[in-house]
Amino acid sequence: MQDDTKLIAFIKTDLARGKTSGSLSATDDLIETEILDSLGIMKLILFLENNYSVKISDDDLTPENFSSINSINSLLERKRAGEGTK
């Protein structure tokens, strides 16, 4: 199971700052709430690649993979299990 403490901290303090009323759950929709805007998604990809030793490919760039903290974690687990690990 992926330790998502660092990921949650990044999303809360960097991407979601000023965009939510405070709490952010693992199932909250990051796209609908515009936490992941056009620059936010680039920042998130950079964060994941730099901190989890994965390469996010074009095929990974689907709403399903980035819609919530849970879905990002699932993506990371799949990547680290062997799909496209650096």
Partner 1 sequence: MMNFSLTDTQILQWDSIVEFSRRELNAEIRGNDQQGHFPMENWKKCADMGLLSLLTPEAYGGLGEDLLSTAHSIEALSYGCEDSGLVHAIVTQLCCIVLLNLYGSESQKEQFLGKLSTGESIAAQSITEPDAGSDVLSMRTRVDGVGEAYSLSGGKVFISNGPLADLVIVFAKSSAGKSAFGDISCFLIEKNAAGYSMGKPLEKMGLRTLQNCEMFFDEVCVPAQMMLGKNGHGMFIFNEAIEWERALMTAAHLGTMERVLEKSVNYVKTRKQFGKEIGKNQAIANKIGTMKVNLELGKLILYKMAWLKDQGKRATLEASLGKLFVSENLKSACLDAIQIHGGYGYMQEYDVERDLRDSVAATIYSGTSEMQRNIIARMLGL
- Would you tell me which residues interact with partner 1 (CB under 8 A)? 13-14, 17, 31-32, 34, 36-43, 45-46, 49, 55, 58, 61-63, 66
With respect to partner 1, which residue has the nearer C-beta, 1 or 86? 86
**Minimum Å distance from CB 82 to partner 1?**
19
**Minimum Å distance from CB 67 to partner 1?**
9
Q: Distance between CA atoms of 60 and 49, rounded to whole angstroms?
A: 12
With respect to partner 1, which residue has the nearer C-beta, 34 or 77? 34
The candidate with the shortest Cα–Cα distance to 72, out of 22, 36, 20, 32, is 36
The candidate with the shortest Cα–Cα distance to 44, out of 78, 77, 74, 69, is 69
